[in-house]
Amino acid sequence: MGEVYLADDSKLERKVALKILPANVAADQERMERFVREAKAAAALNHPNIAHIYEIGESTSASEGSSPTVKEDRVQFIAMEFVDGQTLREKIHHERTELGKLLGCLQQAAEGLAKAHAAGIVHRDLKPENIMLSRDGYAKLLDFGLAKLAEKGVQPHGEDAETLIPASPLRPVSPLPRKTDPGTVMGTVGYMSPEQAQGKTDEIDHRSDIFSFGCILFEAATRHRPFEGESVIQSLHKLIYEPTPLIKDFNATAPADLQRIIRRCLAKDPEQRYQSIKEVAIELKELRRELETGGNLDTVSLSAGEDRNIKTGSGRNSLGSRIETIAVLPFQNLSGDPEQEFFADGITEEIINALAQIPGLRVAGRSSSFSFKGRNEDLRAVGAKLSVASILEGTLRRSGSRLRITAQLIDASSGYQLWSERYDRVIEDVFSVQDEIASTIAGRLRLSLSSDHDIQNVQPPTRHIRAYELYLKGRGLLYQRGLSIPKAIDCFTEAVALDPAYAEAWAGLADGYTTLGYSGFRPGKEVMPRALEAAKRALELDSELAEAHNAFACATLLYERDYELAEREFLRAIELNPIYMQARAWYGLFFLTWTAGRDQEGHDRLVKVVEHDPLSGYANVILSFADFTLGRFAEGIEHAQRGVELDPNSYLAQWCLTLSYHFAGRQEEAAVAAERALAMSGRHNWTLTALVQIYAASNPDEARAVYREVEARSAREYVQPSMFAPAAAAVGDMDRAISLAQQALDDRDPLFVVLARKWPAYARLRTDSRFVEIVGALKLPGWDASHMSAERH
C-alpha cells in the first residue's frame, strides 16, 4: 500500500525505506489517528526480526498550476528500516533456496511475531511479501499496522491486487464495524484466516496471524498456496470449507513433523490452532535441530523448475534420518501404598532416560511429561501439547517381592493403541523390564539400534534392590527442594551404605549436599566438602556418568572456585547426556550468566532448556532468574508467572516471582508474592531478606522490623551472608553489609561466587570500594575492578 522509496537520512547518515501513504488515506483524519497509534506501538518493538519504524511524518510540497496561485500538497510518510535483501516470495519462487534455510528464516520471523503479539499487536496481513531476508541472514517482518490502515477500501494494485476483496457471496459474513466499508474483507486471499474471510472481525486476534503464518509455511515447503483456486471465490470456498491439503502431495521429501506443525497452524477453529506463535518458533527450531542431527538440511531445494509430487527413490526423508517423537507419562501406582509413588515415578524417569539414548528418537522432557501426572486428559490433547507423535503410558503394581508393570504405546494423533504388554516379574527384574520396554519401543517405531546403543546389554546401576528404591525416593525428594532436601540426603546416604559401588546414588548425594548449601540451610564450609567428596567418588565408580560430572562441576564452581575445571565438567556432563536439564540449567545460569558474565550465551542456553521442556516450572524459573539479572524485567515476570502456574507448590518459583516484581519496581506485587513465599517456606531467610529490600523504598519502618527479625534469627541459626548483605545495605547499614560480604567470601558461601558479579540486589554494594575489593578476591573469569561499574544496575 503506497509507494516505497530508498532515501538517505542526512542527519544520522543512514539509508531508510520511505513509504508514501496514498492521498485518500492521508486525507482521512480518523484513519490516520488509528494508524499513528498502531505505528507508535509497533515502533516501540525492539526485536532483530522486526523492521524498525523510525518516524511517521508529514511533508509539505509546493506545486504550481496554470494560475499564479501556489498550491501546497501534504504528503504523509513513514520512515522505516531499510532491509537490503529480498522478500520471502522471491526466495521461495525465484531462487534455489533450500527448505532448511527457509525454515530458519521463518523461525526468525515467528520470533519477531511473538514479540509483537506479546505487546498486543496483531499484524493482520502476513504474507511472503511482508517478510524480508537481509543479505546478512536476518528475517525482518514489515508493515505492522498497515493492514489495519488499509481496511477502509483502498484499492490495491500490483502484486497486492488481492489484498482487499468483496465479501464472499458463499455465505453471509458477520457485520463489519462502522469504520469499514460494507462488503469489504481485510486480508490477502491465500493467506487470510477463515474468520477474516467471513468478516468475523470480532474474532480476529493473534491466532489469525498464526493461520497466515501456516499458509506461508505451506508455501515454503511446496511452492503452492494451501487453498489455491481458479478464482478468488473458489479460493475462499476452499479456505472456509475444505480440509488443509497434505504437503506430501506436493513435496514427498518434506519432513512429517512439518506437516504436523502446518496442520495445527491451519486449523479452521482458532481454538484448535497453536495458541502462541512462540510455540511455532520453538517447534521450528527443534525441527531444524533434529534434521541437522539426522542429516543435511540443505539437500532439498525448491527451484522454479521443480513441480509438485516430488519423489525420492527410498521414500525416506532426504533431509535426513527419520525422527520419531515420544512422551512417557508418569506410570500410575496401583499398589495402594503411597510410598510406591516414588518407585513408579522413578521407573518412569528411568525409561525416559533409556529412550533418550536411542538415535532418531526425541523424548519429551521429564518435567513436561510429569505435568500431566494425575490428570485424566485426552491423550490426543497431551500429544498436541507436548508435540509428540507417540505416548507411552503404564501402570505399576507391587506386592511384596512381586511386580506387575503394564505399558502401552499410543498414537497421539488418533488415540489408538499401537502396542501393549504386561510384565509379571520379581522386583529384582525391574531393570530388565525397563530395558525391554525401551527396546520394544525402538522396534515398534522402526528405529535401528547400533551396538553402541544396545539397551539390552546395559549393566544395571546396582544389584541391591533396596539401594535402588532408596535412590529413586531420594531423587524424588530432591526434586521437591526445600525441607525435603535433608530427607533426600538421608535416602542417598543409606543407599551408598547398602551398595558403596552405586555411582548414581553418590552423584545424588553430592547434589543433595550442594543444594542444601546454596539453598541456605547449612553453611557452605560444612556441606560443600561432603558434596565434593561424593561427586569424586561417583566419578571414580563411573567416569561416563553425566550426573557425576555435573555434581562435580557444581561443587567445584561453588566451593573450590576452579572456574576452568567447572566449565569442562559441565560441558562433559552435557556431552554425555544432552537432555540432562540440571546440567544445562546450572551451566547456563550459575556459570555462564552469573559467574563468567557471558550473558547472551547463558541466556540462549536457558531458552533452549525451556524449548525442550516447555511445561517445566523449574526451567521457566531458571530462565526468569537470567531474564531479570540481565535487566529483562518483563520477560522475567512472564517466565516466573509461568513457573508458578506450572508448579504452584514450588517455593523457588514463588520466590523468583517475588524478585521479578521487586527488580522491575513493582513493589506492591512483590510484597504480596513474598508473603505467599514466606507461608510456603516457614519464613525462609531468602524471602525475609528480599522483603527487607522491598519495603525499604516505601515503608522504612516495616523494612527495619523485618530486618530485626533476620538479625534475631542469625543469632540462633544460620542465615546465608550472601543474602543477608543486600538487606543490610537496603536499610543503610553499609558497614554490616560489607562485613557480611567478607564473611560470604571467607566462609565460601556457595551463592556468593555466582551472585557477586551480576545479582541486581548488590547494586548499592557495588558503589562501595570495599565490596569491589572483596569481589576481586574471587578472581572471576574475565573480570577486573574496572568492570564493576558496568555491572551496576
Parallel, antiparallel, or unpaired: how do β-strands 139-141 and 324-328 relate? Answer: unpaired
Three-state SS at 133: strand
Distance CA 746, CA 527 (A): 15
Cell of 307: 513441480
Task: Find all residues with CB under 8 Å of 21, minimum gap 6, and list them.
Answer: 1, 2, 76, 77, 78, 149
Q: How far apart are CA 528 and CA 479, in angstroms?
A: 19
Q: Which three cell numbers stand for residue 93?
A: 519462487
| CA distance linking residue 543 with residue 539, whole number of Å | 5
Q: 677: how many CB neighbours lie within 10 A of its CB?
A: 26
Does residue 127 contact residue 191 with C-beta atoms inside 8 Å?
yes
Sign of the CA dihedral running 651, 654, 660, 662: negative
| Residue corresponding to grid cell 537490503 | 84
Q: 793: how many CB neighbours lie within 10 A of its CB?
A: 15
Q: How many CB atoms lie within 10 A of CB 245?
A: 18
- 125 given a catalytic annotation: yes
Q: Around 727, how many Cα atoms within 13 Å sit in the side-chain half-sphere?
A: 26
Residue 284 · residue 264 · CB < 8 Å: no
Q: Any long-range contacts for 163-172 (C-beta under 8 Å, 24+ apart)?
A: 163/1, 163/125, 163/187, 163/188, 165/189, 165/232, 165/236, 167/199, 168/197, 168/198, 168/233, 168/236, 168/237, 168/240, 169/233, 170/233, 170/236, 170/237, 170/240, 171/198, 171/240
Exactly one of 8, 73, 84, 125 is catalytic; name it.
Answer: 125
Rounded (10°) angle between helices 617-629 and 599-612: 160
Catalytically annotated residues: 125
